[in-house]
Amino acid sequence: MKTQNVLKTENQMIHTPKKVKNSKNKTIKIIIYVLLIVLTIISVIPFYMMIINATRSNKEIILGFSFIPGSSLIDNYKTMIEYVNIWVGFRNSLFVSVCVTLLSGYFSALTAFGFAVYQFKGKNILFLFMLIMMMVPGQLGLIGFYELNKFLGTLDTYIPLIIPAIASPFVVFFLRQYLSSTLHPSLLEAARMDGAGELRIFHTVALPIMMPAVATMSIFTFIGSWNNYLVPLVMLFSPDKFTLPVLMGFLKGSQVAENLGSLYLGIAISVVPIMIAFLFFSKYIINNISAGSIKE
Amino acid sequence: MKNINYKGYYFIAPFFIVFLIFNVYPVFLTFYYTFTQYEGYGKPTFIGLDNYARIITDTYFLEAFMNTWKIWGFNFILQLGIALLLAALFSDLRFRIKGLGFFRAVFYLPNLITVSSVALLFGIMLDWQYGSINQLLLNIGIISEPIHWLNQPFTAQLSVSLILTWMWFGFTFIVIMAGVSGISKDYYEAALMDGANSRQTFTKITMPLLKPILLYVLITSLIGGLQLFELPMLMSKNGLGEPEGSLNTMVLYLYNQAFRYNNYGYAATIAYALFLITVIFSAVTFKSMYRDAKVMKNRGE
Amino acid sequence: MKKFFIVCISITLMSVFAAGCSSDSESSSGKDVLKIWSFTDELEKYGAVEKFEEEHGIEVELTIVPIADYPTKLRPALESGVGAPDVFTGEVAFIKQWTERDYWENLSAEPYNVDEWEDDYVPYVFDLGKDPEGNVKALSWQTTPGGIFYRRSIANEVLGTDDPEQVGEMFSTWEGLFEAGEKLKQAGYRLFADEGAIRWFARGVDSQPWVNENDELIMTDAKVSYFEQAKILRENDYTAFAPEWSPSWFASMDGPIAYNGGWEDVNEESKDKTEVFAYPLPTWGLHSVLKENAEATVGDWGLATGPNPYFWGGTWLGVYKDSKKKDLAFEFVKMMTHDEEFLTNWANETGDVLSFLPVTDKIQDTVSEDFLSGQNNYKFFLEQAKAIDANAVTKYDQEIDTLLGTHVQEYVDGKKSKEEAVQDFYKAVKNAYPNIKTP
């Protein structure tokens, strides 16, 4: 939002002195807009095809493409729901992602607070250790992670998907940087004078200060968890526990895939709510991506 | 006042307990498996360095490595090209392009969709017989014969590359745009006063100042690219990286070795090879970009 | 904005947790729950589950996982015991691996003593459920030999007869099959849906396992000639480019389909459309594939023999070794495989060909299948079942078959020479199973 406003005002200020080149600029401008519209179409058309095909019958789809919706939406839905309940996948994904986001936000704030405020032995080494492990990609420990959960009896539960979110090195790192520039020691001292315990101080003083940064990171955490495919694919095996991405892969091999219309509908159901949510939050999300990338 | 610093341990304890159990321990356990033959059933058998000997001569792994590079590389060049072009157009003060907010949102949209949905969607849309993409291209008259997108190595890799570009150019554009808007407007005004044209402004001002952001984009995209998995997994016929292994990527190979053929020991070795490759390439990229940036800075001064 | 955000999040949270709670209460209806895992919906489709629920006053929770994911999903459940079913089915492709391992309860032991039932079954079906020591781990109600289902009207028009005997005669050699393919092509039809259709013949011609006891891969002549036969089908244009299980494959059973991507003219008389003449399918292909997808062509089908007997698929089921409800679980297995009344109904309702001889002996002479214009598919398949040899089944079948199919396809598509394709196939097998010695 900010970016846009700045650009606009700058543009208006500077544009006036140059009137000579106007006609040439105009053609270039048209070309630019055409390019932008083409890119817009490319970005959107697969979704349009998906929605159209979701309303057409298998036979219609096999015989050709059309820009006009068909009339088989309800049949397609019935066929799909007979084999796979997408809504359950939705609920599961939402549950996992919300838990992950909350846990990751809260415990990362807690850890960042511990690192930023207290001076204890081994602090720097622990922090460094965390940073090194941050570089390790998720796949590295996958086999061991699977065996660990087999041993713990937590396969086919949400525990391996949710609990590890307590330890999100990247979020801790980000929040610690944020905290060291925003949290004044005097605030803590004042609270201690009032007799507040350390945990209370964290909750009443530090956490509110960190909230904007936590919110920024939460967006990434949520999207990351929502899209996570490999770990739930390996960890979960009861279809009624599948998250949406796993359910999508499942759809490919199931009998729904025999009917293209239903398959398209299944995909559409997994996609459209996200698109609607994005309509409301797009500015917020995009500004956060902008902010996140610059601060790093 | 009594010393309260020890309380820091309480604050970081939950993190480190979970971290050690779910993060650090599996990484070491996986390392142990690299020295074993383990079918996921019964006990692992210690076989020394056999898995390592196998991986350096494994043509499938080499193929997976090359495929990953081809698919990611082409996608990255294209994606970055589009994003930079868009950033240049939107930051150019002469054209006053409107609707940045709208276009950013639309271009970013594909990135928000679950990758497996994207894979499934394109998997059926690229079907040569009843896929909407061929149908559409034939209708418009761009092609006269249906293309077997996912049945020929080249077109299959190209398809995945283009899908990646489709998914990521919006994100890259937003990030680069954020970098551009962080550059002080004084530079552009000065350039405009001096009569610099668009290209000069872009290559002489925008690009050098964008170095850190470009480095960020490159490294994150590279690390993500080396872990390419969902698209090839769900778009190849049996999930084996067909056609002719051209969609076999390193993580897909790891997954199949572990969970399809139950060669856990070897799969663990693949994981470590992947890690090593990631570290090496990140380090090389970082170093070369950093050196360039330094040279540039010195010259500037 | 901020308020809106908070409201949204709280609504989401509430709905998530509310949903979470409601699903928990559903399963706790007070009744005992028997958990069953399978890779098809046949158990619930024909009322078996329902009947069992009524008889025992319990609830059955049937989980269906598509076959491609079935072993990867079930295996961890069985090994860790977490979320494991009480009863689970196994397809012929996994049965060897699973009987060898400690997944199914030993049914030869007390109190089950199923060894006594041995004479009641088609021998190969009973044998496949045994582990290497000869203990029975799983049982099956069905037998799954194959034949070739064909369209009678097209046969009459092109081949001059729709009699199963005569058509079977024409199909008894590969030359005869290709000859028919040529005639069909001239008349605007296609012999098979795609090249993969013939793969089971290659497996059936001499009953050699993929991997012998010395861990050597066995490449029989029949498997090598599969490469050639598939190539002939493709090069002479005898197939309709409708791969098995694809939407066009299913659509082709009920009328013309677009051929070779010719959707430019969608008008009805378009020459780019074709009809598929025949489908090599086993017993279950009749009720779970053809009947499900054919409407306009009901009654227009015949069933004939191909160049050689073969079998395809088959569902076994057994009791999970760590189940807490073994008695109940065994009751279910018993009902599915050893209950004369139930199985008689099952056979009549589904047309499934049973391996349970007391029932097959009773009904095989009287079956007349309307879908096949009154042909007796029962007798036909039971005859074919005699040629099946259980020794040809190994634990590697699923993956090696997949790899073979992929490499044959590459040869057929002209991407590799036959020699290259065969060598690459060996290499791929070796890569998947380093212990196997390839030629």
Query: Tens digit of pLDDT for each residue in A261-286?
Result: 999 999 999 888 888 888 888 888 88
Among partner residues C248, C415, C431, which is closest to B130 by beta-carbon distance? C248
Touching A: B residues 227-286, CB under 8 Å? 227, 229-230, 233-234, 251, 254-255, 258-259, 264, 267-268, 271-272, 274-275, 278-279, 282
pLDDT in tens, B117-135: 999 999 989 988 778 888 8
Hey, is the C-beta of B174 within 8 angstroms of any chain A C-beta? yes
**Per-residue model confidence as pLDDT tens for chain C (439 residues):** 455 555 555 555 555 554 444 443 344 456 789 999 999 888 887 888 999 999 998 999 888 888 878 888 888 888 878 788 999 999 988 888 899 888 999 999 988 999 999 999 998 899 999 998 999 999 999 999 999 999 999 999 999 999 999 999 999 999 999 999 999 999 889 999 988 889 888 887 777 889 988 899 999 888 888 999 999 999 888 988 888 888 888 888 988 887 654 444 444 444 567 889 999 999 999 988 998 888 889 999 999 999 988 988 889 999 999 999 999 999 999 999 999 999 998 888 888 899 999 999 888 888 888 899 999 988 899 988 888 887 888 888 888 988 999 999 999 988 899 999 999 999 999 999 999 998 8
Chain C nearest-CA residue for B254:
C432
What is the spatial distance between Cα B31 and Cα C278, in angstroms, rounded to a whole number? 53
CB-nearest partner of B234 from A107, A252, A275: A252
Q: C248 to chain B: nearest residue by CA? A: B130
Name residue B252's beta-bridge partners.
none
Q: What is the pLDDT of residue A45?
A: 92
**What residues pair up with C276 in beta bridges, in sequence order?**
C190
Cβ of residue B120 closer than 8 Å to a chain A Cβ: yes
β-strand partners of C33? C59
**Higher per-residue confidence, A16 vs A252:** A252
Pairwise CA distance, residues C182 & A185, whole Å? 89
- Tell me the C-alpha distance between C405 and C438, whole Å: 17
Comparing CA positions, the residue from C248, C245, C247 lying closest to residue C259 is C248
pLDDT at position C12 is 53
Cβ neighbours for B109, distance < 8 A, ≥ 6 positions apart:
A43, A44, A47, A275, A278, B170
Task: Check residues C11 and A166 and name the one with the higher pLDDT.
Answer: A166
User: Is pLDDT at A14 greater than 90 in this prediction?
Assistant: no
More confident of the two residues A242 and A7: A242
Q: What is the pLDDT of residue B95?
A: 77
Outline where C150-220 has alpha helix (H).
152-154, 164-170, 174-186, 199-204
The beta-carbon neighbor of B6 closest among A36, A39, A120 is A120
Structural domains in chain B plus CATH codes: 61-300 (1.10.3720.10)
Contact call for A258 and C19, based on CB within 8 A: no
pLDDT score recorded for residue C14: 54
Question: With helix as H, strand as E and coil as C, how does chain A read?
Answer: CHHHHHHHHHHHHHHCCCCCCHHHHHHHHHHHHHHHHHHHHHHHHHHHHHHHHHCCCHHHHHHCCCCCCCCCHHHHHHHHHHHCCHHHHHHHHHHHHHHHHHHHHHHHHHHHHHHHHCCCCCHHHHHHHHHHHHCCCHHHHHHHHHHHHHHHCCCCCCHHHHHHHHCCHHHHHHHHHHHHHHCCHHHHHHHHHCCCCHHHHHHHHHHHHHHHHHHHHHHHHHHHHHHCCHHHHHHCCCHHHCCHHHHHHHHHHCHHHHCHHHHHHHHHHHHHHHHHHHHHHHHHHHHHHHHHHHHC
pLDDT above 70 for A3: no
Alpha helices, DSSP H, located in C220-274: 221-235, 247-252
Residue C13: per-residue pLDDT: 52
Structure tokens at C377: 């598919």
**End-to-end Cα spacing for chain A:** 20
Residues 177-196 of B with CB under 8 A from A: 177-179, 181-182, 185, 188-189, 192
- Where are the domains positioned within chain C? 30-143+313-363, 146-310+400-432
pLDDT of residue A16: 44
CB C136 within 8 A of CB C126: yes
Token pair for residue B13?
């304890």
| C-beta atoms of A258 and C250 within 8 A | yes
Across the interface, do A240 and C8 touch by the CB < 8 Å criterion? no
Contact C176, C193 (CB under 8 A): no
pLDDT at position A160 over 90: yes
Residue B292's pLDDT is: 63
Q: What is the mean pLDDT of residues A213-233?
A: 88
DSSP 8-state secondary structure symbol assigned to residue B95: T
Q: How far is A8 from chain C (nearest CA, A)?
A: 23
B30 closest CB neighbour out of A42, A140, A291: A140
Largest CA distance in chain A: 78
Burial class (CB in 10 A: 0-12, 13-18, 19+), A170: middle
- Which helix or strand (DSSP H or E) is residue C257 part of? strand C257-258
- Of A23 and C287, which is predicted with more confidence? C287
Of the options 3.40.50.720, 3.40.190.10, 3.20.20.70, 3.40.50.10680, the CATH number for the domain spanning C30-143+313-363? 3.40.190.10
The whole-number pLDDT of residue A253 equals 80
Which pLDDT value is given to residue A155?
86
Q: Is the pLDDT of residue A134 over 80?
A: no
What would the mean pLDDT of A136-161 be, rounded to a whole number?
87
Q: Quick one: CATH architecture of C146-310+400-432?
A: 3-Layer(aba) Sandwich (3.40)
CB A233 within 8 A of CB C76: no
pLDDT in tens, C286-314: 988 998 888 889 999 999 999 988 988 88
Q: Contact B272/B34 with Cβ under 8 angstroms?
A: yes
Cβ of B3 under 8 Å from any chain A Cβ?
no
Task: Give me the residue spans of the domains in chain A.
Answer: 85-253
Pairing status of strand C273-276 against strand C189-190: parallel
| Cα–Cα distance measured from residue C233 to residue C268, given in angstroms and rounded to the nearest whole number | 27
Name the residue among A114, A71, A77 with its Cα closest to residue A201: A114
Q: Tell me C353's DSSP state.
A: P
CB proximity A95 to C under 8 Å: yes
Tokens of A4: 């846009």
pLDDT, residue C386, reads 86
Are residues C82 and A153, on separate chains, in Cβ contact within 8 Å? yes
Q: Which chains touch B (3 or more CB pairs under 8 A)?
A: A, C
Q: What is the pLDDT of residue C268?
A: 43
Average pLDDT over chain C reads 85
Cβ–Cβ below 8 Å for A29 and B97 = yes
Q: What is the pLDDT along chain B (301 residues), one digit of tens a residue?
A: 567 788 889 999 999 999 999 999 999 999 999 999 998 777 899 999 999 999 999 999 999 999 999 999 999 999 999 999 998 888 877 777 888 889 999 999 998 888 999 999 999 899 887 788 888 888 888 888 888 899 889 999 999 999 999 999 999 999 998 888 878 778 878 887 888 887 888 888 888 888 888 888 898 899 889 989 999 999 998 889 888 899 999 999 999 999 888 899 999 999 999 999 988 988 888 787 766 655 555 544 3
Higher local confidence (pLDDT), B122 or A132: B122
DSSP at C141: S
* Cβ–Cβ gap B242/C263 under 8 Å: no
Name the residue among B27, B32, B135 with its Cβ closest to that of A136. Answer: B27
Task: State yes or no: ipTM above 0.95.
Answer: no
Residue A73's CB is within 10 A of a number of other CB atoms, namely 17
pLDDT of residue A275: 87
Chains in contact with A, where contact requires at least 3 CB pairs less than 8 Å apart:
B, C
The architecture CATH gives domain A85-253 = Orthogonal Bundle (1.10)
Q: Is the peptide bond before B243 cis (omega within 30 degrees of 0)?
A: yes
